[in-house]
Amino acid sequence: MSPAKHGLGRGLSALIPPTQPSAVTSAVTQVPVAAISPNPRQPRHKVDAEALRELADSIREHGVIQPLIVTPAPDSTALAPRYQLIAGERRWHAAKLAGLATVPVIVRGATPQEMLELALVENIQRADLNVLEEAHAYRQLMSDFGLTQEQIAAKVGKNRATIANALRLLKLAPEVQTALAEDTITEGHARAILTLEDPKQQNTLLRQVIEQGLSVRQTEEAARRLGDRRPLTTERRSTSSTSRPTREEHEMPAATRALENDFRNALGTKVQVFRSRKGGKIVIHFYSEEELEAIYAHIVR
């Protein structure tokens, strides 16, 4: 799949920094499949078994066309060289499945951080990761290596708002995350559910989406209704007879709902539009300083 679709204008080689000559060889060389171990920081957790079998059949017929990228393993010795994968894990698994004894590789030096970055970029370019796997990898870059969202965005060729929006999905209730990872619901459904802060409400809406087959727009409307079901405070009860109708007491015009949905899709967060005779107001919700910065960057810059 074309990298441009994912906003990536850089290949793996652009992210591999120069290293000591002894650690690098630009030449393609054959190494035993058994001498290679998987990338311990591989962000992809789910592999399509049928797709892997098809790849194995192709490799059995034509061989491994594109070399794997590896780095010397910590336990590697001159007499018994060993390698860790940087990129090409699917090809490695498929080569084993096809019964190959050796595979073509290019050896590169890479730090643990670079191994995660490069594996992440390769998987994004090939559309091999679901959005939650991407989000977990972004969070690992932040927690393990202290990278900011802006630095991650520069490394993977995406804008900062995209990184922030992916990370927000990790705030979904575990059941909703599972449904998203298993493609039971779409990312659009998940973002609509995410406008609800209460995990119980998220799970309630998830069940409704699955049982009723709700569209994304219907899910957004259902989330709005659930979010508006807040108990009245004592003050509101005492003044309810004289106060003006609230959003809970009437349906919003379709045009206003459409505006809210457009704002939510653009900013990746809950947005409320309140209209009055002389104008109105827009309320943009954020749930962390990082999200506030992403919204600021999206609007101001």
- 34-46: pLDDT as tens digits: 999 887 766 666 6
Is residue 202 within 8 A of residue 190, CB to CB? The reply is no
Flag whether pLDDT at 202 surpasses 90. yes
- Give the C-alpha separation, 107 to 35, whole Å: 13
Check 61, 89, 175, 197 and give the catalytic one: 89
- 210-256: pLDDT as tens digits: 999 999 888 988 888 887 764 433 333 434 444 444 444 345 677 77
Task: Tell me if residue 89 is catalytic.
Answer: yes
What's the pLDDT score for residue 70? 87
Higher pLDDT, 12 or 282: 282
Higher pLDDT, 251 or 283: 283
Domains in the chain, CATH or no CATH each? 3-158 (3.90.1530.30), 168-230+255-300 (1.10.10)
What is the per-residue DSSP string for 99-139?
T-SEEEEEE----HHHHHHHHHHHHHHTT-S-HHHHHHHHH
Which residues have C-beta within 8 Å of that of residue 268, sequence separation ≥ 6?
Answer: 161, 164, 165, 168, 191, 294
What's the pLDDT score for residue 126? 57
What's the pLDDT score for residue 91? 86
What b-and-e string marks burial along 25-60, b requiring 16 or more CB atoms within 10 Å of the CB? eeeeeebebebbeebebbbbeeeeeeeeeebbeebe
Residue 25 pairs with which residues in a beta bridge? 107
What's the pLDDT score for residue 204? 94
| Locus of tokens 């643990």 | 112
- 65-117: pLDDT as tens digits: 888 888 888 877 888 888 988 878 888 888 999 999 999 998 887 777 777 77
Highest mean pLDDT: which range of 66-80, 113-127, 156-170, 200-214 = 200-214
Higher pLDDT, 152 or 46: 152
